[in-house]
């Protein structure tokens, strides 16, 4: 493991813990794998606000469209076995389809370029108004044909991936759930993943939650429901640890995988650019990809009623991050990206030198909190309230046991001014002075503010 990685892994949970308190989210689990081995796995908050159950890394989440990556892997496995080709027309394997949908290729299904309707004529299953479509309803929606001409642009389609599930069933002679569980999930060594709910009794399950609006409070959603014919698109239930292991195995750099190197390269290859998005991102075969600066990533995200989830593998760094949240307004996307910002900062500055080991901690003023985070030969003044805590962070040069200087700061900050720490008679640090600002521990500030301003 690179030396800079451990201090980054130490800080990421501290930052998420602050973000959880600030945002009042129900729960979050993060897992990070390095070269396929989970090196961080931590849970925050609650599995169910109604019961007060605490969340653990073992709680299963609805991971929704992560399912598409599993389904694409299943198709690639069948291709490796000579059961199909990516340019096969779907109608060669599934009968009685609309002629234009039958003419679409399997590759077009997996890359969302077949022009198929996204969620059918009535997408009430995403809003709790109706059950997920069964096979009869799915086929009725597909009977209308494509909504745009195939192979003209990226157009996301849950129904298209459900159709890929039917291809798998026709070729294997087994239900999608059974074949994918055995040949992909179990073969990858995932012990906490199922292709659909409901789960067996006693399995820890994180309930979904609404946002606070319009009721002014969160309500609990019944997330443990079958997605029926839509399982290949959105049915999967998993943990952050299992997702980190799975997507790590999809990397072309993986030492072991359920798929061949050629299949993995084809899955992650950028085939279509998202044409109308402020975020530069692409789609391959069941895989989203993009870049954080010069760090390229691939993975997937998911949205289910009451759950927002995301998993990314950083190709060159051989790191996979999975962030699962159990609310409709869950912050899985900014928190995963924030964790990557932290990793990038430590990769740039390096592991902290030994002499800076005790220059750490969270310090407060009425303006909020800062974190002292040692990296390389500097101490960073991080802002845990930000999505990127190191954005425009001041840097401290330590010149003595309890003295330093703000060596780098923005023009509106205290560039060049002194830093000092104050200890009590027992040697405990009780104050941090950044330029002219005195910062103290959270409890001390809370007491000071109550005495000065009274209780709310």
Q: What pLDDT, on a 0 to 100 scale, did the predictor assign at position 199?
A: 96
Q: In whole angstroms, give the CA distance from residue 11 to residue 379.
A: 13
pLDDT of 130-144, one tens digit each? Answer: 999 999 999 999 999
Output the pLDDT for position 378: 96
Question: pLDDT digits over 193-217, tens only?
Answer: 999 999 999 999 999 999 999 999 9
* Rounded Cα–Cα distance for residues 170 and 293 (Å): 43
- 230 in a domain, yes or no? yes
In a domain, 4, yes or no: no
Task: Answer yes or no: are the C-beta atoms of 357 and 374 closer than 8 Å.
Answer: yes
Q: What is the pLDDT of residue 1?
A: 72
Residues 373 and 225 in one domain: no
Q: In the listed set 282, 314, 330, which residue is the last one of a domain according to the structure?
A: 330
Structural domains counted in the chain: 2
The reply to whether 162 and 301 lie within a common domain is: yes
**Beta-bridge partner residues of 364:** 369, 440
| Domain shared by 218 and 326, yes or no | yes
Look at residue 455 in the predicted model and tell me its pLDDT. Answer: 79
pLDDT for res 416: 96
* pLDDT beyond 80 at 292: yes
- CA-to-CA distance for 299 and 311, rounded, in angstroms? 5
In this model, does residue 446 exceed pLDDT 80? yes
Residue 450, pLDDT > 90, answer yes
Q: Is the residue at 118 inside a domain?
A: yes
| Segments forming the whole domain that contains residue 264 | 26-330
> Domain boundary at 265, 298, 330, which?
330
Considering the domain architecture, whether residues 376 and 299 belong to the same structural domain is answered as no
| Residue 405: inside a domain | yes
pLDDT tens for 88-114 read 999 999 999 999 999 999 999 999 999
Mean pLDDT score across all residues of the chain: 97
Q: Could you tell me if residue 2 is inside a domain? A: no
Are 201 and 236 part of one and the same domain?
A: yes
Verify that 440 and 298 share a domain, yes or no. Answer: no
> Do 7 and 375 meet the contact criterion of CB atoms below 8 Å apart?
yes
Q: Write the pLDDT tens digit of every residue in 65-82.
A: 999 999 999 999 999 999
State whether 275 and 323 are in the same domain. Answer: yes
Please indicate, yes or no, whether residues 299 and 385 belong to a single structural domain of this protein: no
Look at residue 21 and tell me if it is in a domain. no
14 domain-assigned: no
Claim: this prediction has a pTM higher than 0.95: yes
Helix (H) and strand (E) counts for the chain? 13, 21
The mean pLDDT value for 370-382 works out to 97
Interval 325-347 mean pLDDT: 98
Q: For residue 350, what pLDDT band results from cuts at 50, 70 and 90? A: very high
Question: Does residue 203 sit in helix, strand or coil?
Answer: coil
Residue 396 lies in a domain: yes
Q: Are residues 185 and 321 in the same domain?
A: yes
pLDDT at 163: 98
- Rounded to an integer, the average pLDDT of 278-288 is 96
pLDDT at 18 over 80: yes
CATH number for position 286: 3.40.710.10
Q: Within this chain, do residues 233 and 290 fall inside the same structural domain, yes or no?
A: yes
């Amino acid at each position: 493991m690179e030396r800079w990685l451990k201090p980054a892994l130490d800080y990421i949970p501290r930052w998420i813990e602050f973000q959880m308190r600030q945002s009042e989210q129900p729960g979050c689990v993060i897992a990070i794998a390095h070269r396929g081995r989970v090196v961080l796995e931590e849970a925050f908050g609650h599995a169910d606000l109604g019961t007060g159950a605490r969340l653990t890394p073992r709680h299963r989440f609805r991971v929704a469209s992560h399912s598409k990556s599993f389904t694409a892997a299943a198709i690639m496995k069948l291709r490796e076995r000579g059961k199909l080709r990516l340019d096969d027309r779907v109608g060669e394997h599934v009968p009685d389809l609309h002629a234009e949908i039958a003419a679409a290729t399997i590759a077009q299904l997996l890359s969302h370029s077949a022009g198929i309707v996204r969620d059918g004529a009535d997408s009430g299953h995403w809003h709790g108004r109706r059950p997920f479509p069964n096979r009869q309803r799915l086929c009725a929606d597909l009977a209308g044909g494509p909504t745009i001409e195939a192979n003209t642009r990226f157009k996301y389609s849950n129904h298209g991936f459900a159709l890929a599930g039917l291809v798998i069933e026709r070729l294997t002679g087994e239900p999608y759930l059974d074949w994918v569980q055995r040949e992909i999930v179990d073969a990858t060594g995932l012990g906490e993943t199922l292709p659909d709910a409901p789960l067996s009794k006693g399995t820890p399950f994180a309930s979904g939650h609404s946002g606070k609006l319009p009721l002014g409070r969160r309500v609990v959603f019944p997330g443990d429901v079958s997605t029926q014919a839509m399982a290949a698109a959105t049915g999967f239930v998993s943990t952050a640890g299992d997702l980190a292991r799975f997507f790590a195995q999809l990397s072309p750099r993986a030492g072991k995988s359920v798929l061949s190197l050629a299949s993995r390269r084809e899955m992650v290859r950028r085939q279509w650019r998202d044409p109308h998005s402020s975020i530069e991102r692409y789609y391959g075969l069941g895989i989203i990809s993009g870049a954080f600066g010069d760090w390229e990533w691939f993975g997937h995200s998911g949205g289910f009623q009451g759950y927002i989830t995301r998993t990314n593998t950083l190709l060159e760094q051989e790191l996979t991050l999975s962030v699962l949240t159990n609310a409709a307004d869950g912050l899985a996307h900014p928190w995963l990206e924030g964790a990557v910002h932290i990793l990038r900062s430590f990769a740039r500055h390096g592991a902290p030198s030994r002499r800076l080991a005790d220059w750490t901690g969270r310090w407060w003023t009425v303006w909020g909190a800062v974190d002292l985070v040692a990296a390389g030969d500097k101490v960073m003044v991080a802002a845990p309230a930000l999505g990127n805590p190191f954005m425009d962070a001041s840097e401290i040069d330590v010149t003595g046991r309890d003295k330093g200087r703000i060596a780098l700061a923005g023009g509106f900050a205290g560039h060049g001014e002194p830093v000092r720490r104050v200890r009590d008679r027992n040697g405990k640090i009780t104050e941090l002075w950044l330029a002219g600002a005195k910062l103290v521990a959270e409890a001390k500030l809370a007491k000071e503010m109550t005495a000065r301003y009274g209780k709310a």
